[in-house]
Structure 1
């Protein structure tokens, strides 16, 4: 694969005009070759408006390349003929092009650059020779569309591109051959299939799956088929199915304390990080409803105990002061903790407090919500800042804490103001992630904390190189420099997949809107991919703010614990009480994945944490456990009691302060661990054996004495049924009437001749209404397309010469077993089995589509 190739630099790619639809007047296609933004005649303009037919301009690259981006130059001022919407197609040949971009241009003078999709669905880069731009609409109604200038960028290195072309062609050959091999086996052309495999030198499927086909389809050797299924489980071939099963959750309250019986007090907006190797969870700061905190704790997982590292880090040399809405990351290479960001008491004066825009866990002055609120509510005229707690300037301090070595227990002030050295300004509610191997920290978004709080300002995307102590700013949030760009935000989520070098950035708040978009940022190429403009419409959570997310790169899953959500813009934020926990699964980071709810556990009496926001979570990938602490439960809800009609203070007692000072929200000090529960290997094997034994029972009903089939149903089939599952038990009970009582007298299988599938014998999902014995909702192996077999068909499913000497199934039974075999493949990893698609389904009126 191309992953082993060193990618050369991206350069400007020269091109020429290969063709176009008609043009208007002197506005020919060749005009776009040069960029003259002040020359009104330097453009291509379509002969007619887009509504009157397809308009296009086709470009031919002067050399084969891997195309990375396309830039549209514009006229120096707005123009009604400017393209509003367009699409881009690419290909090696003019008559075979694929759409890779559908986007829009603004009606302004600023050039716009768009990243071009240059890899296929499995991550294989492909070369390009032709580009076709198709205008879909103009900014002016009924105006002809105009393109002023196009510039292309990509990789043109001849050696690199030639390797890409060769590998891509090899991949295409592989795909076509594997589709043909699947088609031949489905139709019982086993000898031609064996001849192709002997000469092609490719692996069609894992050898265990070939053995399963031989045992199940060719020989009906049920004991051997069951043994192969168990071998598949042992070999890890059923792992993808397990990940695709519906996930449940198991919450456990952690009640460990320190030797004095103390735990971190109630708070929200604090920061946590985890040392997975040593099983340590560090917690610092936050807001307790009255003041910002600077206590520093560590929880030792093995001992189930807290330990207070510092009662007040502000009293230590180089220690950080009280703060909330900051972030910490742990460097597993050096054992260092890095801390950035602040919203402290000194930032809570009248001048600096938010005024209705909300905040994750900071005192607010005028925000009032009927269901929940996003912070405390100090008086309109803020109290004087205590001596020593105010920061003289809005400087962004950057700290490091040592957990190992000679400096263990000491703080370093790495920077008094990161903005002065090319880093972010003072921010709050941002996100941080660390690549320990590369020794790089990433910082995304956050709200700028300065003297002009009423003017919403947001930070962008930065990286900090630990080895060189240098900051770098990416232009991912620059609407003029990158497309798609990541809109600046705060209270969002960002996680890093260090293997693929992608950052996932999603949700949060911008202005008054809660967001439900999601982006993937490829670090090596600074490429932004919009995965979802609205993940709610794709089956994900509602737009959310201060949700928390952690990632398991090995499983390629992101776990999301929702905070405040809004079902629609302008609606009152709420705390979800029904399934506020989600999994985002992806196969390729730059392609949209799937959102799945984490379902409640089967034990309805098990304790569950109450909904919250401004909480903190960390993930231990070694034990696959999520840890959650504290947060804000909203108005007057105490974690240990039922909601009261009157607001309570943060300690759960009736608030006796004057109403204008009362913090009516309940902050939490509870600590939980969350395990994601999925079926184990034995459960998956049971489900597969259930499918095998159903087929065995079906054939016994057709061929043997009814009493033998009935005994088999009551013993062997019943033993692999989950009788506690009402649907599965119902299907089991229906097997008797569906097959044994309904089976007509049949001659022995060997004497049967080919008959149409619709005439009987073949089982499909539609032939048994209400079946629930299939695996849970997941990515399934597609059932084969309706197979021919009638008297006039060219495909007769006759015995193949390769089957001579055994006891081959009849044509009808071969088709039936093949369908059940492909149903069994739903349990198998994609890379170990035949292709999902069927060759017949890939045929269209335009020919074969691969």
Structure 2
């Protein structure tokens, strides 16, 4: 990335000699800063920077005073744009109150994945570490792409997209005003489309009351995937079941924490590796066969000893387990603030926090072991007793691994932590390990990766190559952030920050990212809710909730809460582990500690299965067909069709599409039947729907058909329907 040159374009205010131009200096003295004329209040304070040329901003370096300062900004935002009056939020984050300069990656791609070109950058303080002090900013450096050819290509592409949007808005306006011929000519000559042909057919069919054509259009739209984005955005549910299988002797594995779990999709087997059983760390490996509900133990000959704080992945190609084991040096000094072993059973659900308290050493190495699981007995092999000697990362308290199953590549993130507060003191580092060749590679450059306490998830993209999703926070109090790493180009990309337009739901900063799982086909990352915070470390939020990050939509969502019935879902727990079967969208969970009764308790030995259930294309088809048939039925009643015929239509035409589990749908059906007999429904509406005045009846029928069309099209993928904006509204925003 290039350092981008800029000049001060404007500021909201300044205090005394603390002008905005001071932020260009790298001096850390008290005078080398911009300070607003007043504390933060209703009137926003900001600085606007003007780049020397149009660029793509990718990161911001925020300098600080050499130590803590009462005027230090805490939460801040960064906006970019080609016009200072129309800007886009690309970053919302917070600075620590210390003398360490911090680099923040910003959102530099739009919702379509295309780079955001800008000429102006606006920095807005939101809060300070001491509320009554005026906000101050020290040095600011900007980094990104300034290559003229690249930027010109981005601007040209942006111009084409603007032109396409303008044409579609004009076509929509012409059609609304009834100018069908000019609308058709505009679209034909420009090569643009206003909407998918199925949507056009549905519109015309409803307008003319051609119910057969309307139903055919709906079926075609469903088969063409026009409702798939709506299905993906609908909150799924988790259906839980406790698995009570035993081994041949009638026993089950002991309760565990600090273990790891893997799933073999070909053998349909869950593996539980190592962990703490309440009295000691164990190196046992237990395998659960889903098909016959039976546990077995694997051979321990050659296995690593004292498995704790390790990470494991399973290669589905040959069924081998790869276990990454931190091995502290015997002679290294103790970690600052380390406590006794009982503190590992504390309220904190973060393994990193546990490591910081109980790890006896702050230096060491990583060992890598392989275990063959598809032969009896299994065999253990120590691939390397010190992976840093063969190109792998060095020892650290905070690390994570993930496996790209398509390329059979393991990615390992390491983040050296401050011994004082457990926060990353340098940028995270990323290494890859090829299971095929056994070679380690360091990538990407460490300066490009954010310093996060977080987790990795390998979710590839067939159109963009393998991509890693990195989730985490700069520290225990920092906001949750998501970054992507393109392993081909080493590009690091930040997703929309909290508060960005269309950023949607955001998880709490205290969400513990352990474990983190992914689905390659659906392009989703999964994190089970395990949040701690507040006085005494009380758990915040609904237990047994799954957070889902949808990579294509770049949105968070959660599962719908299930029934709070004892025994029907796991008890409220922390420090459990999970494995995932992507073929059946099923999770397996084992171990953990009950929230109530900590810290004097033993780990749980329960195995639970959670199946992720989503609405399907059949569900959306039934919903749409029910809406069409209900409207058709109402018009039959108004047209005077006999009761026998209408009752038969209900039986054969409406009942097959009713979702009896949906209470609202059932109520709608009952209301529809009530209209047949002119009976008022429970909501006070109803009565005979006949209208004496012909013109009024036609107008009402037309309004109902338009409302039905709008309701159906609202579920269609945005790219397949006409633009949501109106041309007149766009003109008003420009004129005003």
Q: TM-score range by the shorter chain?
A: 0.7 to 0.9
Q: Is 1:469 the counterpart of 2:440 in the alignment? A: yes
Cα deviation for residue 201 of structure 1 reads: 0.8
C-alpha separation between the residues in 1 aligned to 2:6 and 2:289? 62
Paired position in structure 1 for 2:483: 520
Paired position in structure 1 for 2:110: 120
- Flag the 1:97–1:352 CA change in 2: closer, same or farther, 3 A: closer
Q: Is 1:273 the counterpart of 2:262 in the alignment? A: yes
CA contact (8 A) 2:95 2:102 kept: yes
CA contact (8 A) 2:424 2:475 kept: no
Question: Which of 822, 826, 834 is matched with 2:714 structurally?
Answer: 826
Cα deviation for residue 824 of structure 1 reads: 0.7
Paired position in structure 1 for 2:578: 617
Larger Rg computed on CA atoms: 1
Paired position in structure 2 for 1:746: 693
C-alpha separation between the residues in 1 aligned to 2:139 and 2:343? 51
Question: Which of 346, 355, 364 is matched with 1:395 structurally?
Answer: 364
Deviations 1:421-472 (A, max 9, x none): 77252648x54212345555344579989xx9x9868797443321432456
For residues 174-253 of structure 1, the aligned pairs below 5 Å read 174-217=164-207, 219-253=208-242
CA contact (8 A) 1:722 1:728 kept: yes
Paired position in structure 2 for 1:691: 627
Deviations 1:177-215 (A, max 9, x none): 334444444554433332222122123333222222222
Question: Which of 148, 152, 156 is matched with 1:158 structurally?
Answer: 148
Paired position in structure 1 for 2:342: 364
Cα deviation for residue 509 of structure 1 reads: 9.2
- The SS at the match of 1:835 is coil
Moved more, 73-82 or 459-468: 73-82
C-alpha separation between the residues in 2 aligned to 1:841 and 1:571? 52
For residues 478-489 of structure 1, the aligned pairs below 5 Å read 485-486=451-452, 488=453
Question: Which of 559, 580, 586 is matched with 2:544 structurally?
Answer: 580
CA contact (8 A) 1:697 1:712 kept: no
Paired position in structure 2 for 1:596: 559
C-alpha separation between the residues in 1 aligned to 2:65 and 2:567? 65
C-alpha separation between the residues in 1 aligned to 2:241 and 2:130? 60
C-alpha separation between the residues in 2 aligned to 1:668 and 1:76? 48
C-alpha separation between the residues in 2 aligned to 1:83 and 1:289? 44
Cα deviation for residue 321 of structure 1 reads: 0.4
Question: Which of 705, 716, 729 is matched with 1:817 structurally?
Answer: 705
CA contact (8 A) 1:635 1:665 kept: no
Deviations 1:21-42 (A, max 9, x none): 787888876666x535178877
Cα deviation for residue 823 of structure 1 reads: 0.4
CA contact (8 A) 1:184 1:190 kept: yes
Deviations 1:569-593 (A, max 9, x none): 11354598x652224243557x552
C-alpha separation between the residues in 1 aligned to 2:703 and 2:62? 55
- Flag the 1:843–1:289 CA change in 2: closer, same or farther, 3 A: farther
Cα deviation for residue 157 of structure 1 reads: 2.0
| TM-score computed with the length of structure 1 as normaliser | 0.69
CA contact (8 A) 2:432 2:441 kept: yes
Paired position in structure 2 for 1:835: 723
C-alpha separation between the residues in 1 aligned to 2:172 and 2:471? 40
For residues 250-649 of structure 1, the aligned pairs below 5 Å read 250-255=239-244, 263-302=252-291, 304-310=293-299, 312-313=300-301, 316=302, 319-332=303-316, 336-341=320-325, 355=339, 363-364=341-342, 395-403=364-372, 409-416=379-386, 418=388, 423-425=393-395, 427=397, 431-437=400-406, 440-443=409-412, 461-467=428-434, 468-470=439-441, 485-486=451-452, 488=453, 494-499=456-461, 501-506=467-472, 510=476, 517-522=480-485, 524-528=490-494, 531=497, 543-545=510-512, 548-563=515-530, 565-566=531-532, 568-571=533-536, 573=538, 579-586=543-550, 588=552, 591-600=554-563, 607-633=568-594
CA contact (8 A) 1:341 1:427 kept: no
Paired position in structure 2 for 1:766: none
CA contact (8 A) 2:579 2:588 kept: yes
- The SS at the match of 2:283 is strand
CA contact (8 A) 2:350 2:512 kept: no
Deviations 1:478-513 (A, max 9, x none): xxx987x53x4xxx7553333372424248994xx8
- The SS at the match of 1:209 is helix
C-alpha separation between the residues in 1 aligned to 2:18 and 2:360? 61
- The SS at the match of 2:312 is strand
- The SS at the match of 2:109 is coil
Moved more, 121-130 or 402-411: 402-411
CA contact (8 A) 1:24 1:46 kept: yes
CA contact (8 A) 1:697 1:709 kept: no
C-alpha separation between the residues in 1 aligned to 2:473 and 2:563? 24
C-alpha separation between the residues in 2 aligned to 1:351 and 1:141? 35
C-alpha separation between the residues in 2 aligned to 1:263 and 1:52? 61
- Flag the 1:411–1:531 CA change in 2: closer, same or farther, 3 A: farther
C-alpha separation between the residues in 2 aligned to 1:334 and 1:27? 64
Deviations 1:267-302 (A, max 9, x none): 333212223344343332122222222122334445
Deviations 1:662-692 (A, max 9, x none): x963444443332112333333222111111
- Flag the 1:841–1:259 CA change in 2: closer, same or farther, 3 A: farther
- The SS at the match of 2:592 is strand
CA contact (8 A) 2:91 2:107 kept: yes
- Flag the 1:368–1:39 CA change in 2: closer, same or farther, 3 A: closer
- The SS at the match of 2:395 is coil
CA contact (8 A) 1:65 1:161 kept: yes
C-alpha separation between the residues in 1 aligned to 2:566 and 2:42? 65
C-alpha separation between the residues in 2 aligned to 1:95 and 1:821? 37
- Flag the 1:409–1:109 CA change in 2: closer, same or farther, 3 A: closer
C-alpha separation between the residues in 1 aligned to 2:416 and 2:82? 46
CA contact (8 A) 1:531 1:592 kept: no
**Number of paired residues?**
701
- The SS at the match of 2:193 is coil
- Flag the 1:726–1:244 CA change in 2: closer, same or farther, 3 A: same
CA contact (8 A) 2:107 2:494 kept: no
C-alpha separation between the residues in 2 aligned to 1:677 and 1:326? 31
C-alpha separation between the residues in 2 aligned to 1:447 and 1:635? 33
Paired position in structure 2 for 1:680: 616
Q: Is 1:727 the counterpart of 2:691 in the alignment? A: no
C-alpha separation between the residues in 1 aligned to 2:457 and 2:547? 13
- The SS at the match of 1:745 is coil
Stretches of structure 2 lacking an aligned partner (at least 5 in a row):
352-357
- Flag the 1:151–1:323 CA change in 2: closer, same or farther, 3 A: closer
